[in-house]
Amino acid sequence: MPAAPHALDETFTVLPLRALADAALARARALGAEHAGFRLERVRSATWRLRDARLSGSSDSTDLGYAVRVVHGGAWGFASGVDLTMDAAARVASQAVAMAKLSAKVTAAAGSRERVELADEPAYPDRTWISSYEVDPFAVPDAEKTGLLAEWSGRLLAAPGVTHADASVLTVQENKFYADSAGTCTTQQRVRLHPQLTAVAVDQATGDFDAMRTLAPPVGRGWEYLTDGRYDWDGELAALPEQLAEKMRAPTVEAGAYDLVADPSNLWLTIHESVGHATELDRALGYEAAYAGTSFATFDQLGKLAYGSELMNVTGDRTAEHGLATVGYDDEGVAAQSWDLIRDGTLVGYQLDRRIARLTGLGRSNGCAYADSPGHVPVQRMANVSLEPAPDGPSTEQLIAGVERGIYVVGDRSWSIDMQRYNFQFTQQRAYAIRNGRLRGQLRDVAYQGSTTGFWGSLEGLGGPQTYVLGGAVNCGKGQPGQIAAVSHGCPSAVFRNVNILNTTAESGRS
What is residue 4's predicted lDDT score, i.e. its pLDDT?
45
Do the beta carbons of residue 28 and residue 100 sit within 8 Å?
A: no
Q: Is 460 exposed, middle or buried (0-12, 13-18, 19+ CB in 10 A)?
A: middle
Coil/strand/helix, residue 20: helix
Q: Which residue has the higher pLDDT, 205 or 142?
A: 142
How many CB atoms are closer than 10 A to CB 56? 12
Give the rounded distance of the alpha carbon of 20 from its chain centre.
31
- Provide mean pLDDT across the span 314-325: 98
Give Cβ neighbours of residue 5 (< 8 Å, ≥ 6 apart): 133, 134, 135
Give Cβ neighbours of residue 380 (< 8 Å, ≥ 6 apart): 280, 281, 282, 288, 351, 352, 353, 356, 368, 369
What is residue 421's predicted lDDT score, i.e. its pLDDT?
97
Third-level CATH fold of 10-249: PmbA/TldD fold (3.30.2290)
Q: Where are the domains of the chain?
A: 10-249, 256-507
What is the C-alpha separation between 24 and 67, in angstroms, rounded? Answer: 9
Listed range (6-10, 68-72, 173-177, 269-273) with the worst mean pLDDT: 6-10
- Count how many residues are written for the chain: 511
Do the beta carbons of residue 502 and residue 444 sit within 8 Å?
A: no
What is the C-alpha separation between 171 and 136, in angstroms, rounded? Answer: 9
What is residue 493's predicted lDDT score, i.e. its pLDDT?
98
**H-helix or E-strand spanning residue 190:** strand 185-202
Q: Cα–Cα distances in Å, from 30 out to 117, 181, 327?
A: 19, 11, 31
Model confidence at 34, in pLDDT bands (50, 70, 90)? Answer: very high
Model confidence at 480, in pLDDT bands (50, 70, 90)? Answer: confident
E strand intervals along 394-437: 405-410, 415-417, 423-426, 430-435
Coil/strand/helix, residue 267: helix
- Provide mean pLDDT across the span 119-144: 97
